[in-house]
Amino acid sequence: MESKRVLIVDDDEELCELLRIAFEAKAYEVFTALDGEAGLTMARKRKPSAIILDIKMPRLNGYEFLSQLRRDSRIASIPVIILTSVTESSSRSDEEWARSMEVQDFVSKPIEPFQLVERVERVVASP
Query: Which domains are present in the chain?
Result: 5-125 (3.40.50.2300)
Q: What would the mean pLDDT of 65-94 be, rounded to a whole number?
A: 82
State the DSSP string of 43-54: HHHH--SEEEE-
Using the predicted structure, report yes or no on whether residue 8 has a pLDDT greater than 80.
Answer: yes
Closest among 12, 9, 4 to 29, alpha carbons compared: 4
> What percentage of the chain reaches a pLDDT higher than 90?
65
Q: What is the pTM of this model?
A: 0.90
Say which residue, 69 or 95, is predicted with more confidence. Answer: 69
What CA–CA distance (Å, rounded) separates 53 from 80?
7
CB-based contacts of 63-71 (< 8 A; 24+ apart in sequence): 63/97, 64/36, 65/9, 65/36, 65/39, 65/40, 66/98, 66/101, 66/103, 67/101, 68/40, 69/40, 69/43, 70/101, 70/102
Taking the C-alpha atoms of residue 79 and residue 44, their distance in angstroms, rounded to an integer, is 14
How many Cα atoms occupy the beta-carbon half-sphere of 87 within 13 Å?
A: 3
Tell me which range, 34-38, 59-63, 96-100, is most confidently predicted by mean pLDDT: 34-38
